[in-house]
Amino acid sequence: MPKHLKKKNIVYRLIISIVLILIAVCLILVFPQISKYVLSVKNAFFLAVNPKQETLTELYFENHSSLPDIFILSKEYNFKFTIHNLENKDMEYPYEVYIDIDGKKKEIEKSTVLIKNNEYKTIKINYTITTPIQRFKVVVDLINKNQQIDFWMTKE
């Protein structure tokens, strides 16, 4: 083989070796980034196809804008609250309704209600204030969910 062809062959092999080394280095450096991207796309696709069902319970007053805020002793008052079960299963909800007078509870009602999945239950509460006080808070407490709603009343 002529000398000039041997030199070309050596240079060619050297160039091929350098290119292969560069490709290997690029793959080593870039592959983890590509695999992270592929995994994140795979996870996003999985979540889009199989969304995780959220579980929650809604607790709210019916006609919240018409809740009583002024009271007269010995007069009966009422309000309604609703529990909406979005827990993806039938649920038993123990609840307590009470008056909070400076951190002390005066029970109005304590009960448990069974609500099927994705159904509502509206509960009417009647109460009369017989204790001479100036101001108090009416509280609805879903005991097992640690959820509360409340409103304040002041003496007329």
* 135 DSSP 8-state letter: E
Check: CB of residue 62 under 8 Å from CB of residue 80: yes
Confidence of residue 77 (pLDDT cuts 50, 70, 90): very high
**Per-domain residue ranges for the chain?**
1-52, 56-155
Burial 114-130 (b: 16+ CB within 10 A, else e): ebeeeeeeebeeebebe
- The CA distances from residue 73 to 47, 93, 115, 130, in Å, are 56, 31, 35, 5
pLDDT over 90 at 9, yes or no: no
Query: Yes or no: is domain 56-155 CATH 2.60.40.10?
Result: yes
Confidence of residue 19 (pLDDT cuts 50, 70, 90): confident
- pTM reported for the whole predicted model: 0.66
